[in-house]
Amino acid sequence: MAGSTGTVGVLALQGDFREHLAVLSGLGASARPVRRAEELAQVSGLVIPGGESTVMDKLARTFGLAEPLKAAIASGLPVYGTCAGLIMLADRIANPIDGQQTLGGFDVTVRRNAFGSQTESFEVDLDVPEIGSPAVHAAFIRAPVIEQFGAAVAPLASLADGRVVAARQGNLLGTSFHPEMTGEQRFHELFLRIVAAA
C-alpha cells in the first residue's frame, strides 16, 4: 500500500499516537507524527488518536493547530478519529466541558464518557459489514457514542442496544473504540484505502 497513500500523519499532541504510528507502519504506510502546521501540510491523511479530547482541544488551540486542522478537514483531508479523536471530529458534543471546542466536519453528535463511571472500559465483539468477518474485537475506554447523525453519515457499527460506535462520512472515519490496541488493523486498512482514493 506504500506509495499510493503518500505520508499519513498521526496527530501527536496527546494520547496513544504511538500505537497508531505502529499499526500504520506495520501496514507498509509511511507514517509520521504531526505536531505543527508545517507537518500537517505534508500529509495526505491524518489519524487523531484516543486520549482526552478536552486536553487535545486545548493543546491544538495553544499550538496554533486548530485552525489549520479545521481548514484541512474542510478541504477534504481524509481523517480517522478513534475515541477522543472521534470527539475532536464531531460537529457537536452532547456534554462538553465548559469551553470545549471541536474541529468539526463530521455531522454527528457524540456523548463523551457515554458508559458512565461504573463502566470505564470493556471489550465486545462487533459485527461490522464494511470490515467483514471475523467480527471486530473492540476495546472501549471511557468511550463516546454517536447519539445523532446527519444524512451524509453512514453508521458502520452499533452496540446490541443500537447505539452507533463507528461511522463514515466521505473522507472522515470515526470509531468510539480503539482498534490500535487490540491488534485490529482493518479500520486502518480501510482508512488507507480512503487516503489512496482521495
Q: Check binding of 78 to ligand GLN (CB under 6 A).
A: no
Question: Taking Cα atoms as reference points, which of 119, 179, 173, 172 lies closest to residue 143?
Answer: 119
> Is residue 134 reached through a cis peptide bond, with omega within 30 degrees of 0 on the bond before it?
yes
* 120 flagged as catalytic: no
Question: For ligand GLN, which is the closer residue by CB, 31 or 89?
Answer: 89
Residue 134 makes CB contacts below 8 A (sequence gap 6+) with: none
Q: Check binding of 84 to ligand GLN (CB under 6 A).
A: yes
* 188 flagged as catalytic: no
**Active-site annotation holder among 19, 20, 39, 178:** 178
Considering only residues 45, 51, 68, 179, which one is a binding residue for ligand GLN as defined by CB under 6 A?
A: 51
Q: How far is CA 136 from CA 3, 20, 56, 157, 182, in A?
A: 27, 17, 27, 10, 9
Q: Check binding of 68 to ligand GLN (CB under 6 A).
A: no
C-alpha cell at position 71: 481548514
Q: Check binding of 179 to ligand GLN (CB under 6 A).
A: no
Which residues partner with 11 through β-bridges? 34
Contact between 35 and 15 under an 8 Å Cβ cutoff? The reply is: no
Q: Check binding of 112 to ligand GLN (CB under 6 A).
A: yes
Q: Check binding of 174 to ligand GLN (CB under 6 A).
A: no
Helix (H, G, I), strand (E, B), or coil: what is residue 167?
strand
Considering only residues 44, 113, 148, 158, which one is a binding residue for ligand GLN as defined by CB under 6 A?
A: 113
Considering only residues 14, 53, 169, 171, which one is a binding residue for ligand GLN as defined by CB under 6 A?
A: 53
**Active-site annotation holder among 83, 123, 147, 189:** 83
* 184 flagged as catalytic: no
Residues 141-170 that bind ligand GLN (CB under 6 A): 141-142
Contact between 185 and 32 under an 8 Å Cβ cutoff? The reply is: no
Sites of contact with ligand GLN (CB under 6 A): 50-53, 83-84, 87, 112-113, 141-142
Q: Would you please indicate which residues are annotated as catalytic (active-site) residues?
A: 83, 178, 180
